[in-house]
Amino acid sequence: MDDTMDSQRSVTAEVKPDGVKNDVPQTKLPDGKDELFCGPQKYDTAKDSVPTENTQDDIASQNSMDCGSAGGLDESGLAGSRSNTAQTHCSNGQKSKRPSSPGPHPVKTTCVGAHSQNPKLTLCLSISPMKGGSTPSDVEMLSPDSPICKTMLINNSADKDHGGSACADDSGFAKAQVVESQQFVNDSDSGSSAKERAHLVAMGTEDAEVAECSGSSNMSQDLLRSQTGAIFESISFALHNTDKGWLGTPIDELNRMPQCAPPLLHLKVVPNHTVAVRTDLLREGDVPVPYPTKFKDAWDDMSVKMPCSEKNLFPMETEDGGGVQSRWDLIRTALRGGFKSSLDVRDAILRYNTTHAKKWDFTALNLLCTECLEHCEAQHLFEVILPDMVDLALRAPCLCTMPIPLLKCRANHSLTLSQEQIACLLANAFFCTFPRRNSRKSEYCNYPEINFYRLFEGSSPRKIEKLKTLLCYFRRVTQNKPKGLVTFTRQTLNPPSNWESCQTQLTRLHITCEGTIEDDGYGMLQVDFANRFVGGGVTGHGLVQEEIRFLINPELIVSRLFTEALEYNECLIITGTEQYSKYSGYAESYKWKESYKDETPRDDWQRRCTEIVAIDALKYRHFLEQFLPEKMSRELNKR
């Protein structure tokens, strides 16, 4: 896979430990948190503080759109074209409260409401001034030429005109907005540091190799200068002219799932929707039954190459000079050997990945087991959790019986898997069993990494916390079989919408600097803005918005197995994933807190009413570049 795939590279240098330990630790957890594996399970509803940083692999902007249903409508129309890629709609204005919803985290959330009968903003993508249009009654809007705006920004305008640019690189504008946003946020916690305050702008990332980067060399300076004043003045006015932490429509007036959801037709297999379970046996509270009954092998370029395939062969030396053996037999033998330490895990994985024996590093896994877990936790990991994960992974021929289609570029298709099937696939990813997925030069070079080998390398505290979060998930799904379904829909917009002639009015909008997507956006279409390779750096070093969501909802990670990199007019919609963990912090400060019991209601297809759309964001050298007509059209088509 080429360099654009390396979205998970380290941002900070990782220092290798002097020696790799292999003793079961006797130390206690430094933070005094609940035990990860053998302690009592708790569901805390306290607030999590999530500071926002301008760092790492992917764009960290966060949005929640009101009541999306793109993954849960008539199955025959799941992959049909829509007016835009991640279209949403609702039938009524009822609201529901999410049970056991934790307190808000201070990150940006944007919620879009259902279409209203009232006049809304009229959008024009041309550079010329708009010749009319009505404004919503939610927020008073002033002209950039108004005296109050000019008074507010007299000093700011002088600074931005100096040097012919309002912002140098990506950080200048972000820093300016941090200062403004700290005045705007009404923070009741006086002990909070400035770093923990919410930001009103979408932060950039440091990895230009994975986020699409568009140069600004061909942008005229006249356009930049003409737009800078109005944009700065309108942003400054929004920050200064209100005492509340939100703008637009009150969030309680927006629709939420499942109350606003249209009725679902019976789940069935159609040409553009692959269903891997028996739909006739689908019952609330029952574990879905895999379909078909026996494993059906498919070793082609249209399906995922499974580790249990009879065509998955391993080269070996014989007396005759050479030969091959079943790689699945080798995997079963290696994993059935048992584990007494992290080094045993390493040795087992390398037995069927011999070509990577000198490259793969298991330092993070070893540090977790020797320095970060208490004695009872490490013992429970090796004696219970890992053996249960092995059993789960080796059940692949019984659970994942249907060939899993690849969700390829420019093809609308949906795939519905059971949560148990997903857990089986992720257990195989943990033990790095998927063939031909360890090289950037393989046939899967345009797909994200799925095997977890990069999660085990280095000594970064990020990796330790990631492993804690994922092992919490594996403990849960091996203790009690999950009983729901998850649908993955790749949506392509073709042809693109003609936005300049579009008569559809903008929907209601709630903009806030408080809360989190997963808590305050429950029942709405929740947007993941980050990488064209879904999941970004979740199996590597990345740990911002996209990666965190994929960690606390690990069923999202399996989309990396079969989703090709997103194109400019595509998105991936995931319906039904469950949250298994709570966390605090962001990027370097991220910490796994404890297990979380998700009580989000299920729809008629037994999917959690949680709908997430993955959309890749662009990285700009100059923030004004995002307001060019072609860039705005691209973002509108994505949404």
Which residues are designated catalytic? Answer: 528, 546-547
Query: Residue 370, Cα to own-chain centre: how many angstroms?
Result: 30
**Antiparallel, parallel or unpaired: β 611-616 and 570-575:** antiparallel
Which bin fits 523, alpha (ψ -120 to 50), beta or left (φ > 0)? left
Transcribe 340-399 into DSSP letters. Answer: SSHHHHHHHHHHT-GGGTTT---HHHHHIIIIIS-HHHHHHIIIIIHHHHHHHHHTHHHH
Calculate the CA dihedral of residues 167, 171, 176, 181 and round it to 10 degrees.
140
**Token pair 């062969």 is at which residue?**
313
In contact, 570 and 85? CB cutoff 8 Å = yes
**Token pair 């029952």 is at which residue?**
286
The span from the CA of 399 to the CA of 392, in Å, is: 9
Determine whether the annotation assigns residue 545 to a binding site. yes
**Antiparallel, parallel or unpaired: β 246-248 and 509-512:** antiparallel
**Antiparallel, parallel or unpaired: β 62-65 and 109-112:** parallel
In contact, 469 and 551? CB cutoff 8 Å = yes
Question: In sequence order, which residues have a C-beta less than 8 Å from that of residue 90 and are 6 or more positions away?
Answer: 66, 67, 69, 114, 255, 260, 261
In contact, 613 and 488? CB cutoff 8 Å = no
- Residue 295: other Cβ atoms inside 10 A: 18
Cα separation values, 306 from 24, 268, 289, 508, 629, Å: 34, 24, 19, 45, 44
Query: Residue 33, Cα to own-chain centre: how many angstroms?
Result: 26
**Antiparallel, parallel or unpaired: β 273-275 and 109-112:** unpaired
Determine whether the annotation assigns residue 84 to a binding site. no
The span from the CA of 115 to the CA of 134, in Å, is: 16
> DSSP letter at 117?
S
Q: Copy the structure tokens of residue 323.
A: 């030969």
**Token pair 């600074």 is at which residue?**
159
Q: Copy the structure tokens of residue 99.
A: 């049970």
In contact, 532 and 207? CB cutoff 8 Å = no
The span from the CA of 580 to the CA of 593, in Å, is: 11
Transcribe 517-557 into DSSP letters. Answer: HHHHTTTSEEEEEE-SSTTTTTTSS--SHHHHHHHHSGGGT
The span from the CA of 473 to the CA of 451, in Å, is: 17
Query: From the annotation, which residues make up the binding site for substrate?
Result: 531, 545, 586
Query: From the annotation, which residues make up the binding site?
Result: 531, 545, 586
